[in-house]
Amino acid sequence: MTTVIAESLAGARIAITGSTGFVGTALVERLLRNVPDCELVLLVRPGRRSSAAQRARKEIFRNDAFDRLREQLGDDFDAEMDRRVTAVAGDVSTDGLGLVGDDRDTFTSCDVIIHSAAAVSFDSPLDMAVEINLLGPTRIAALCNEVGVTPHLVAVSTCYVAGNRRGNAPEELVSEGPFDMGLNWRTEVAAARRLKGDSEALSREPHQLRQFRKEARAELGAAGAPALAAKTEQLRERWVKDRLVEAGRARAASLGWPDAYAYTKALGEQALTETKGDVPVSIVRPSIIESAWAEPKPGWIRGFRMAEPVIISYARGLLKEFPGVPEGTVDVIPVDMVVAAIIAVAAAGPERAPRITQVASGGINPLKYRLLVDNVSGWFTRNPIYDSEGQPIVVPEWTFPGRGRVQAQLTRAKNVLNRTDKVLQALPLRGKQAEFTATLETKRMEVERALEYVELYGLYTECEAIYQVDHLIELWDSLDAHDQQTFLFDPRAVDWPTYVTTIHLPSVVEHARVKTTPGKSGGTDRMTRMRKQVLDPKRHVAAFDLENTLIASNVVESYSWLATRRLDTPERIRYAVRALVEAPGLLKLDRSDRTDFLRHFYRRYEDAPVEQIAEDAQELFTQLVITKSFPAGMRRVREHKALGHRTVLITGALDFAVSGLAPLFDEIVAAEMSVRPDGTYSGEMVSVPPTGEARAQILSDYCDAEGLRLDECVAYADSSSDLPLFEAVGFPVAVNPETRLAAIARKRGWLVEHWTKAEGGPRPLLPIGPMMVERERRRVFR
């Protein structure tokens, strides 16, 4: 049986903006399923490597919202989507929506335009929120007026345009109510754009660029010029964004709105009303949109909304309290009710549809904050999340403090973690010791996230506005029973304890991918899966660093072994003392620039006889390199060879020190010193030492020459200076990572290996000379 709503929209061509978002995806699915005779035109911003149509197929139709429709249509699903849906390339943040040619004609030929595109993040930069939320609707109206068409424009806004008021918030324009401040939206747009330009200019001031460079080096260490340049630019862009985010918050707060989202939406309504011309406009204002009550299935959600991060942080024990008024109302509305209301407004047409319709629960079926907290706490007490050790996390007893107290507590915790992290970053930690710093970094990020949640969402939980829904209920009462059954948008239908405990929370936990069963975490299994990927026969090349990756040694130790080989014990002791004195300076130079360090250090080989070094290098290999090698690392090289992978050693060690490893590798790229005519080393490099970004280029050149793919390469290394190499390949493996790399590897989800030397090997305090070798051999084998 066809509903009246479906009949009203039968044969209609409906344009939708924001179709890749939460509301937009649900809206597309509902129209296709419940209004079978309509056609949809989706305005989609093309991606860097994908067209509008490709994005629509991937980001909309592959979503699980379409499972029900896909099951109904079976093998005809794709054909039906192609027949009824057209994706056009455009962008609401651009004048004219960025539409050209046939796409422009297709969009402007629609009977209804549902504008759901928005910068929905509560911490959007001010300029972005202005361009999308404030100016987006006016651009649609301007385009329609320019072409001379008058489709029914249904603009999705938010109840929070009412601001931080107490008491009733009716369905009227803010600019027409008693709280109108006389703001000029054009002035606000000009100010936001000017601030963006000023921030960009300030970010390019020499002192700022030096600071960004300093921060980049502190995070990445000696990662090489390209990586540091990219990080510096990333920090500059982040600085500009943070300034604009803070400007948006400050401007919104100064005018009584909770954030830039509500502020720009309010001005967007004002701007659209003033500039709509002949285009008929209906505004739909949802409150806080959360998971579905029933359609397309109970609990359906796309991405985390406002409440989910807070709920999961509480369940994991990260957020022990959150500001809010216990008797206050948390105005939540399920996404399927919002979608149904939007469709009903569109079907009513500009003649019958209310000018403004609020879709909210607080004025007619309120969810009290204490009821929400009690249900969340009780549910996680019965269904706890488990930590990595398989122990249930006991949720704390929720209190209702003010925002100031919670912010102060989290800020103190953040400052302590920042100071601790700074101390640990200065220490030469490695491997499992460095893993502790990565754990600390994770904790610091969790505290920062919790602080961000309090700052962003605290005002919403403290809000005491009651959004009136008179127009919504009038529209609901005008529907017949069949329409009401098909397009449910009456907030009174929601039983909040049932919704929270049997629909919303199970969905949130499922999407959060947290541990819900006892027993140790599957982290080991994850590492096992990643090792299988690394050792897949499809891989092409396995590239290895040497020092602290395959052996527990370095160029300083190799030089010391050679330099003291023919010294007696007193001279050895004096050398060791000098080396200890020099160590801090060498470590500092190494952390600053690995290439400069190697050039500086290899100067010590000046005048060394080539023949003598070659003779000594053989014993260096057996007594130092092999003795200090990691058996697991050597096995990994052999595993790669057995699988048919090319094995490449790229090391800053000198070529004579690693020549004994030739049987393991198809290619060895090492540092090389020039030789003088008299048969001595000059102490100068023949070419740039293979470190930092040079390693990435070496591997890239090797793959090009051999017809191999970088994205099928594996790279093993231990330092953040190898970041360019890691980022070049498809499968990075951090081995015994130093502090910075340990944090980066954890953040990016890379495979981490901890390889150690074989037990029982000789561990002399000083380098072993010829006279001591035999003595050491007798000690070991007696």
Q: Which residues contact residue 473 at a Cβ distance below 8 angstroms, ignoring those fewer than 6 apart?
A: 364, 490
pLDDT above 70 (res 390) = yes
Within-domain flag for 244: no
CB atoms within 10 A of CB 568: 10
The confidence score (pLDDT) of residue 766 equals 45
φ and ψ at residue 315, rounded to 5 degrees: -65, -30
Residue type for position 693:
E
- Backbone angles phi and psi of 448, in degrees to 5: -60, -40
Q: Which amino acid is at 239?
A: W
- Helices (H), ranges, 630-669: 631-642, 655-658
Domain contains 418 = no
Mean pLDDT of 736-747: 85
Most confident of 261-270, 295-304, 549-558: 261-270
* 769, part of any domain: yes
The answer to whether residue 255 sits within a structural domain is: no
Task: Tell me what the mean pLDDT of segment 626-650 comes to.
Answer: 93
**pLDDT over 80 (residue 526):** no
pLDDT given at position 597:
83
Instruction: Calculate mean pLDDT across residues 7-27.
Output: 94
- Residue-wise pLDDT for 127-145, tens only, equals 999 999 999 999 999 999 9
CA angle, residues 549, 555, 558, in degrees to nearest 5: 105
Give mean pLDDT, residues 369-398. 85
State how far the alpha carbon of 561 is from the alpha carbons of 586, 611, 657, in Å.
Answer: 17, 16, 11
Domain of 769: which CATH number?
Answer: 3.40.50.1000
The pLDDT of residue 625 is 84
Tokens of 712: 């099928």
| 626 has a pLDDT exceeding 80 | yes
pLDDT 10s digits, 412-428:
666 666 666 666 555 55
Identify the band that residue 234 occupies on the pLDDT scale cut at 50, 70 and 90.
very high
Whole-angstrom distance, CA of residue 273 vs CA of residue 276: 6
Asked if residue 613 belongs to a domain, the reply is yes
Q: Would the pLDDT of 28 be above 50? A: yes
Of the pLDDT bands very low, low, confident and very high (cuts 50, 70, 90), residue 441 is low
Strand segments, DSSP code E, in 434-591 are 464-467, 541-544
Task: For tokens 């070991």, name the residue.
Answer: 780
By percentage, how much of the chain surpasses pLDDT 70? 84
Measured CA to CA in angstroms, residue 356 lies from 161, 163, 264, 286, 475 at distances of 12, 16, 17, 11, 11
pLDDT, one tens digit per residue, over 654-667 is 888 888 899 999 99
Cα 511 to Cα 628: distance, rounded to the nearest angstrom? 46
| Strand order through the sheet with 713-717 | 667-671, 646-654, 541-544, 713-717, 731-735, 751-753
Residue 327 makes CB contacts below 8 A (sequence gap 6+) with 368, 369, 370
Which structural domain, as residue segments, surrounds residue 722? 530-777
Query: Residue 459 falls within a domain, yes or no?
Result: no
How many domains are contained in the chain? 1
